[in-house]
Amino acid sequence: MRRVTFDLDVLRSFVTGMELGSFAKAADRLGRSTSAVSAQLKKLEEQAATPIFRKSGRGLALTEAGETMLGYARRLIELNDEAASAIHGVELEGWVRLGLQEDFGEAVLPDVLGRFARAHPKVKIEARIARSHDLAERVLSGSLDIALAWHCGETLPYSQHVADVPMRWIGSAKRIETSLRNSEPLPLVALEAPCLLRTVA
């Protein structure tokens, strides 16, 4: 069986496009032309020797092989970036004050801190979990160095859009139907203000 060595630049374009929901946005983020990214995706399918994408309406969706490829691609890129950071950043030391929104704390924090600690063993991290509004105020006041939070509509210096996350209503379809049919108020469960999700609701 012929061994295949996947191109990390191609994998990065693939992962970035899936995370942003658009390969045109990925091209812009990575400083490449849309045609160059399209050529990379074609190369990826040729290397994989199996279809990675399938048509879905006017767009593209991943095949089962594509879903598998996406998981491995993320791991390969993370390992590559971790190795690069470890080699070039071993002399970094000091404190980093990191803020994370409550929704990201349990899901993101352990993995992020683990990879960062391996890449920069001399850097100490002080992590804080809070609401997006509180994190933004702490970044502006200088009590946090960096934060990952929901965009609250405020214009913040040095901020960078990371990804679009879809929002979904969760509830009983039967209860909603009954409330609408009887013109009854629909009870909602939400966090106290200030809360971006509450405002949107």
Q: Give the domain CATH number at 82.
A: 1.10.10.10
pLDDT < 50: residue spans in the chain: none
Residues 104 and 73 in one domain: no
Output the pLDDT for position 72: 93
Residues 75 and 117 in one domain: no
Residues 14 and 81 in one domain: yes
Provide the number of structural domains found in the chain: 3
Residues 69 and 107 in one domain: no
CA distance 183 to 173: 15
Q: Which residues contact 59 (CB under 8 A, 6 or more apart)?
A: none
106-162, pLDDT tens digit by residue?
777 777 788 778 777 788 888 888 888 788 888 888 888 888 877 766 666 677 777
Residues 51 and 36 in one domain: yes
Residues 65 and 103 in one domain: no
Residue 191 DSSP code = P
pTM as predicted? 0.50
Domain that includes residue 113, residue range: 89-148
65 burial level (CB within 10 Å; 0-12, 13-18, 19+): middle
Output the pLDDT for position 20: 86
